[in-house]
Amino acid sequence: MTDTQPPHPSDTRDAPTTPTQTAWERAHAAPVNWRGRARRRLARRWKLIAGLGIVSTFYVVAVLASFIAPYDASEQSRQQPLAPPTTIRFRDSEGRWQVRPFIYRLRLTDPLARTYSEDTSARFPLKLFPRGHSYKLFGLFQTDRHLFGVAHDLSRRSGAPQNSDATQNATATQSATQSANASPPPPPRVYLLGTDEFGRDRLSRLLMASRFSLAVGPLGTLLAGVLGVFLGCVSGYAGRRVDALLMRAADAMLALPDLVLILAARAAFPLVLPPARAGALLVGIFIAIGWAEMARLARGMVLGLREREFVLAAVSLGLTETRILFRHILPNASRPLVVQLSLMLPAFLLAETALSFLGVGVQEPAASWGNMLVSASNLTLLGQQPLVLLSPAFAIFLFVLGVRLLSDGLRRDGDLRAR
């Protein structure tokens, strides 16, 4: 047997005295420079930033809908019903590349089958900020400029035969005679999402519909949240009788199905209403059915905070109940209430969409995402143009996704601040 020799003291004097960091500790270690700290904050709050970006983009588009939309949402083109989306080209029919994007005129070849073909005899270039129908920007400034459109000057094919001077003079004389009897046809329209059965531009209607859909749902959510928070705070801080009365009313509202209650309330009013009155009616219905959930949450938060040390200190200082409730208790309960409010918004937006889809919301010719989805009920059209007909559903999905990311980001940000 050989004896095991102990290590010499000189062999261990250079060994590290601190324990080795694990992989988790290295990944979550605090960065030493400002770039690392910025990346870490961005990684923690990416949901908040993404949700805020999506929701902000929707509302910017809704505010600038009249400017972005190339045409009036209610203007009809009876010669082009159910036209397919216009193809924007950079290469003409002869294979030549063009610097400016252009389109060809669409012609209805079969009125029964609703088939179209392109007339490649002339190119119509696109341009930025063309003149179109008049509107008020931000509701204040009268203008007729739009983001994009078709230029009024057309370009003939380069391979078309050129006339001699005599032929040009004869043609000019003949065209001058004909111009007195007939005016030149207007330039074609660019339909990025095609047209509906009445020849209305789907993109313009989709943009204008965002104003109604993104105004009714959020406004109803905000007002229902304010009313519910107020009643919940009063119920949680008042006596037992007031608490019992308000909470039994809230329990009765929560026991009823939301969509059935909305339909019953809407059926009590005339079917055909102007868009402003229909929006006000829907906001009132959303307030009536949405306050109970916020009231229950606010009451629970108030009951949990009224026995905290800072509230007892405010009571000992002789502050009024109103000041204690709205100055000390409510700010500490704001984060869960804001998250709950953001969770109610998609439900009200989908409720407005369902009402308009069923025909009891906003009526034609006004546009909303719900009544635009009525065209998707035609299975034949849905099979031909699924992406175009379901574009309002895609818009609703993206907005609801943005709201969900925003609410999750707010909750996570609140948890990080509470640590």
Residue-wise pLDDT for 37-73, tens only, equals 667 766 677 888 888 899 999 999 999 999 999 999 8
Are 109 and 117 in contact by the 8 Å Cβ rule? The answer is yes
Is a pLDDT exceeding 90 seen at residue 203? yes
Tell me which of 1.10.3720.10, 3.40.640.10, 3.40.390.30, 3.40.449.10 is the CATH number of domain 202-418.
1.10.3720.10
The residues near 339 (Cβ < 8 Å, ≥ 6 apart) are: 407, 410, 411, 414
Q: What count of Cα atoms within 13 Å lies in the side-chain half-sphere of residue 90?
A: 3
Across the chain, mean pLDDT equals 80
Residue-wise pLDDT for 217-265, tens only, equals 889 999 999 999 999 888 888 778 888 888 888 888 888 777 777 777 7
Please give the pLDDT value at position 29.
55
Is a pLDDT exceeding 50 seen at residue 15? no
Is a pLDDT exceeding 70 seen at residue 144? yes
Specify the amino acid at residue 121.
S
Sorted by where each begins, the domain ranges of the chain are 89-161, 202-418
Burial class (CB in 10 A: 0-12, 13-18, 19+), 130: middle
Name the nearest CA neighbour of 294 among 381, 374, 382, 232.
Answer: 232
Q: What count of Cα atoms within 13 Å lies in the side-chain half-sphere of residue 81?
A: 10
DSSP assignment of 40-87, as one string? HHHHHTHHHHHHHHHHHHHHHHHHTHHHH-SS-TT---TTSTTPPPPP
Are 374 and 189 in contact by the 8 Å Cβ rule? The answer is no
Residue-wise pLDDT for 259-314, tens only, equals 777 777 777 777 777 888 888 888 888 888 889 889 999 988 888 888 888 888 88
Please give the pLDDT value at position 160.
43
